[in-house]
Amino acid sequence: MAKSLLRSPTKLCVERAVNAHDCQANSRHRIRGGDMRLKAFTDPRSPDHYCADCAKKIIRGDIERLGLLLSEIEA
Ligand SMILES: [Zn+2]
């Protein structure tokens, strides 16, 4: 079984917000109940939640970083 850096889905997942709250990357972003959000356990005891726009930026940035690591290890 291959290991993943992203661990189990409970460490990082996309889910629908039940209640409205602020995005934790930008307090001016409001996540409404029913909106999709990214949940990330950066701190194992308390997850951070990001709105879809911030989540896309974070995920794209991480894909880019993983791509760089991949090209470094393949060099
Ligand atoms: Zn946001």
Tell me the percentage of the chain whose pLDDT exceeds 90: 75
Evaluate the CA torsion angle 55, 22, 49, 34 in order and state its sign: negative
Q: What is the pTM of this model?
A: 0.84
At 9 the pLDDT is 57
Kind of pairing, strands 21-22 and 30-31?
antiparallel
| Amino acid present at 35 | D
Higher pLDDT, 4 or 73: 73
**Residue 50 alpha carbon to ligand 1 centre in Å:** 5
The predicted model gives 37-47 an average pLDDT of 88
**26 has a pLDDT exceeding 90:** yes
At 32 the pLDDT is 98
Q: Which protein residues have their CB within 5 A of the ion that is ligand 1? A: 23, 25-26, 29, 51, 54
**4 has a pLDDT exceeding 90:** no
**Residue 2 alpha carbon to ligand 1 centre in Å:** 32
As a whole number of angstroms, the distance between CA 53 and CA 72 comes to 29
